[in-house]
Amino acid sequence: MDLIVRVVADVWGVPVADILGPKKFPMLVRPRFAVILLAQRLTEFSLAETARFLKRDHTSGVNGKKRAEHFEATSIKYAARMRQAERLLRFSTGPVVFVRSPSRVKAPLFLRSSSGEVLS
């Protein structure tokens, strides 16, 4: 999940701390929504888990996903940034699969490349 936040922060040009912070400016909320939608597309996290990671409640996760889908469908610039972030996440280190640690149910997710190598 940290990787998703870092990539979105780079693509949108905002600090990671602001995405995780409490501010509600549109220039910060829209990247936060992108993190929620990308986490849904690329990980096994539930909306509630994603929202908790962003220090929000589960209803913020549901609303964020809907808003991100709306922005993606209606804004060319937002859609282009979403494609860029998703492309970077999927292909920058080779095909990446987000999986749960097999040792514990509540363990954080880690990245594994297509060759099986664990990525940081």
Report whether pLDDT(107) > 60.
no
What residues form DSSP beta bridges with 119?
111
Distance CA 79, CA 102 (A): 34
Return contacts of 14-23, CB within 8 angstroms, 24+ apart: 19/54, 20/54, 20/55, 22/55
Q: How far apart are CA 76 and CA 106, in angstroms?
A: 38
Q: What residue ranges define each of the domains in the chain, with the CATH number in brackets? A: 2-93 (1.10.1750.10)
The alpha carbon of 55 is separated from its chain's Cα centroid by a whole number of angstroms, namely 13
pLDDT digits (tens, 9 = 90+) for 45-89: 899 999 999 999 999 999 999 999 999 999 999 999 999 999 998
Which of 117 and 18 is assigned the larger pLDDT? 18
